[in-house]
A and B are shown apart, each in its own frame.
Chain A
């Protein structure tokens, strides 16, 4: 068994505290439906994922993650309907790996270019619980409704899409002060924008491959989905003009490939997204983030689950977000 003694407070006292891995059997509980749904004002389709919870703590992770390694208990054959306050209603269809061709974006010979290519994403498939919209288009300032029916039980949620300030600019800056001496090439994107001070705003900051820039969901760039990683902030400490806010990927939020912070190099092409969140969605993400930190160790707050917005005691969240973005091109 792996034993990692660390210098707890006591070490300092020359007393060595020890943290050891241990076995914990969770209570047997009925699996619960978990819904992961979002709509934005970027190009669709928008995806809804429906899975079941388990009482097992996953052990170990494969070196090379592939869709078949996904441990989710996917729910297939669910009825999923997304509608809005303008009378549009869209019954989602089960996602398949092969999709109609779409534009993808590249830097070719130093020039930003696009080409129409076949769109395949082996992760966004119904076998893993995904459903996608057929016609819905998200618009800021409107409210969206989600209805999911599984095994004759109905789950509902609604979400308002708040407005987002436009990004002035985004640049890649570095090396960062806190770069370690062993890896000095740490660069991250920074954003500049006017923060509306008279209203309470919540934001999510992300950066991603430019290949996906107009779309809500990513292309086959080995990116699982664009919900993770993320960095959420509250406008509480933001000045009227945000003069260079780092787009940090919340340290504790990981994608399935097992990396830490995605550092960039100067000259990397990158899309930076500033997404608006409601307080509800912000709190959800904030708690997800803090769950990594607040694990119940004594100097941490008592861990608790984030409060979702889906009726019927389902886990998860449905949210709507408006996205403003900048492309950083070489």
Chain B
């Protein structure tokens, strides 16, 4: 006989709640029974009459049970059923006021798996990080993965399933599962008229307390878009700076220093492909167009095992898949940039695409007369242009497969005589990722990715003091496969492996025109290959204890062709050199990266977590300016640049308050890094084929405490965070071999983010940030040489800059919603630096170009009070 898959109709829980019968206890409700040669069916009818319970069964199952004799007074329903069914092949289960009676056959004794995808009902966009909770006699929970997939294994039975996601209405269902089955969940947006309906990624409810992970934050794109930003341009990387433990070395820039790490220790992934320079306009803006993004999460310090390659953080940015239900155009015109996005189905519910572009408006304003007059720019050929393009296509092939193809490209052209008189800079990133999701079986999900990333950067000479242009390039190709395997109710394994090939051209000089005083030259390419494999398990040890442990192993090889020099002790002279042919291994390293996190639930609203992780980084950014220029060099590890590594310990206490409206946490961390690099004083980097002689390696440590209190629900949301942190470096040969602070060492950090929805059309937001001063070198004195009075400097980063703080506010005003009109618009009015605080961007002493020995101390402040207007639309 064909098995019936569902015997209980899915019903909304509120029906059950509406009745007064909710949650009756079978063991407390008593009846008196007198049975003589009764059938089971008759027994059930009697119980139904005398109690609120209703029986649910297939008559075939109970047909054979008759001749029942039973006589008891005031006995509980539970006892009756236990007694009567004990000798049969039947068992029972209570679901609200239903008692479900079924055959105690093999299937029923088995564990079954409920799996599926969580999607937005509006756009079909899959939802990452939605929490799925299945409750029966105990509770199981899962969080959807990056592709919206979830999978939970439970003993066969009837359950109450709920799915929640910020910005969406909770979905609650009753399901009965005798067999493994696919249960896709569609969530409905809370505010259908919102311009950003795709609210993405949130800290899941209870599961966040249970989840064995520390230092993890998600920001929804809606939150990011509502935060007040300079020029009204939403910015992913700047928004992250308001989270605890994440700061920037310099006000206004997108560089992130995570838990005392430098900004090159962050892995920034866009649809899994690494982006080597995530900035526009020399670090002032992120290279990501928020209109095309779906999801942003950051992992600080102890990463899940599937991530690796950097020491401090992983910032995982996902692009939208594209609406697969209807065509939609969104866009905006702001002071800084204009944006336009088109998304829609190719075949409804099957495949969709998104195309998104952004172009800077600043270049058009730059050379206007009134601007050059106002700011005394003497040159009218300043250039400052950037654009970025995102494109993505995905197709669902059957129930088990989905393919994604996404591409990103963004470029900058920058010349300003105030930054560099004689050179313009161009830089850009291109990434392509192709991915294939496959559901092998309900418990096993796989994703296969092929990723490409290209980063090129160049100087072009704008005058004739230099006879050449300069360019450099980095290319990377990665192939990998990741599996999510739900073994049983308490073990969820992730494993995978991959290989990366990378090629770096560190520098190439191209003579200009018919130049006779310079020759073409090129530094040797640096090739490298990396293989990696990982396995991790998230194990539910008991109701209260969750453990996540994993191991990532990486093997790295620097490959020829290359000339490797050997130096004398202080690397001032070459004593030997070896030539490695193409493809030959020059040096190889193996990294074993264990990661473990334990979470202990103290109560339903509080937990404690402990974690340890080790990370390796095989890429080194050679940058010797404090904010960084796009022309800074990325170099792979080799004989001299040993892989950097970090050991990090983190511990935290987490608490939810007021029915999860609020969450609070305190995390402590300590980290120690090895083989970090820093330059010798006055390093010479230009076209240096012995760059290793300019670099010294050493160790670093950092520690700190991060407080966060966040409100997730209601008309007002937002958070307050405070971070106390300290970072130090020790490098033999720098600062007289004493510990010194890096320039991003800020002791105190306070951020306040407040978002409030006044009514359907009006919302406001404000963010305030306080950061104690960073560090810099200041002169110690002056002396005469060659008739000129020169400055000399003391210890590295000895000087503490003044603290900075700032308030930004914004107001979003939506047009009236008319159901018959597709066009929706909104105005964003924002004010940057409301109280016109003159924060120090840089403090330095420079020697005058025209009078020897005449030194001036200068303070650079960024903009004061700055209002701006942006118009966003959707149709």
Contact = CB atoms under 8 A, between A and B. Distances in A.
Given A4-B376, A304-B682, A24 B845 contact: yes
Contacts of B777: 296, 302-304
Given A8-B860, A305-B792, A244 B516 contact: yes
B850 A254 contact: yes
A39 to B, nearest CB: 15
A285 B794 CA distance: 19
B862 A14 contact: no
A258 B791 contact: no
Contact of B785 (A5, A22, A316): A316
Contacts of A252: 847, 849
A260 B851 CA distance: 9
Nearest to B851: A61
B855 A58 contact: yes
A27 B779 CA distance: 9
A221 interface: no
Contacts of B853: 58, 61, 71, 256
Contacts of A253: 788
B58 interface: no
Contacts of A57: 779, 782, 791, 845, 855-857
A51 interface: yes
B81 to A, nearest CB: 73
B783 A302 contact: no
B866 A243 contact: no
A12 B384 contact: yes
Interface stretch (A94-102, A110-118, A287-295): A287-295
Nearest to B687: A236
Nearest to B573: A279
A191 to B, nearest CB: 9
A298 interface: yes
Given A9-B419, A252-B849, A302-B624, A51 B780 contact: no
B682 A306 contact: yes
B787 A17 contact: no
A296 B857 CA distance: 11
Interface in A268-321: 279, 283, 286-288, 290-292, 295-307, 315-317
Contact of B781 (A9, A55, A61, A254): A55
B792 A299 contact: no
Contacts of B419: 9, 299
A13 B793 CA distance: 34
Given A9-B281, A49-B784, A298 B842 contact: yes
Nearest to A233: B517
A227 B784 contact: no
A20 B845 CA distance: 11
A9 B857 contact: no
Nearest to B516: A243
A183 interface: no
A242 B511 CA distance: 14
B793 A238 contact: no
A12 B786 CA distance: 40
Given A16-B863, A236-B687, A245 B517 contact: yes
B89 interface: no
B284 interface: yes
Nearest to B857: A24
A22 B858 contact: yes
B687 A237 contact: yes
Interface string B840-871: 01111111111111111111111110100000
Contact of B377 (A7, A302, A315): A7
Contact of B841 (A298, A303, A317): A298
Contact of A5 (B282, B376, B382, B854): B376
B509 interface: yes
B697 interface: no
Nearest to A308: B785
Contacts of B785: 34, 36, 227, 288, 315-317
**By CB atoms of chain B within 10 A, which of A7, A23, A292, A300 has the most?**
A7
Contacts of B40: none
A11 B371 contact: yes
Contacts of A246: 465, 517
A302 B854 contact: no
Contacts of B790: 288, 291
Contacts of B852: 61, 228, 254-256, 258
Interface string B686-701: 0100000000000000
B188 interface: no
Contacts of A21: 856-859
A47 to B, nearest CB: 11
A295 B844 contact: yes
A60 interface: yes
A238 B519 contact: yes
A239 interface: yes
B862 A17 contact: yes
Nearest to B852: A254
Given A9-B416, A21-B858, A225 B842 contact: no
A17 B863 contact: yes
B849 A10 contact: no
B419 to A, nearest CB: 6
Interface string B28-50: 00000000000000000000000
A290 B682 contact: yes
Contact of B863 (A15, A71, A287): A15
B535 to A, nearest CB: 43
A241 to B, nearest CB: 9
Contacts of A305: 681, 791-793
B465 A24 contact: no
Nearest to A256: B852
B845 A295 contact: yes
B784 A36 contact: yes
B230 interface: yes
Contacts of B336: 13
Contacts of A18: 838, 860-861
Interface in A25-41: 26-27, 29, 31-32, 34, 36
Interface in A113-140: 123, 129
B860 A258 contact: no
Contacts of B377: 6-7, 11
A243 B231 contact: no
B782 A58 contact: yes
A284 B789 CA distance: 15
A53 B787 contact: no
A92 to B, nearest CB: 18
A304 B282 contact: no
A125 to B, nearest CB: 13
A187 interface: no
A17 to B, nearest CB: 5
A224 interface: yes
B623 to A, nearest CB: 9
A153 interface: no
Nearest to B627: A298
A10 B846 contact: no
Contacts of B626: 298, 302
A32 B792 CA distance: 11
10 contacts: A8-B418, A22-B858, A53-B783, A55-B780, A61-B851, A72-B784, A254-B850, A288-B790, A298-B625, A299-B419
Interface of B: 230-231, 250, 252, 281-282, 284, 335-336, 362-363, 365-366, 371-372, 374-377, 382, 384, 416, 418-420, 463-465, 468, 509, 516-519, 521, 572, 624-627, 629, 679, 681-684, 687, 743, 776-794, 796-797, 832, 838, 841-864, 866
Given A236-B687, A237-B519, 7 more contacts: A18-B838, A57-B857, A176-B464, A260-B849, A287-B682, A302-B776, A304-B793
Interface of A: 4-24, 26-27, 29, 31-32, 34, 36, 49, 51-61, 71-72, 123, 129, 176-178, 224-225, 227-228, 230, 236-239, 242-246, 248, 251-256, 258-260, 279, 283, 286-288, 290-292, 295-307, 315-317
Q: Which 5 residue pairs across A and B have the least CB separation, nearest first?
A: A15-B863, A227-B786, A304-B681, A296-B844, A295-B846
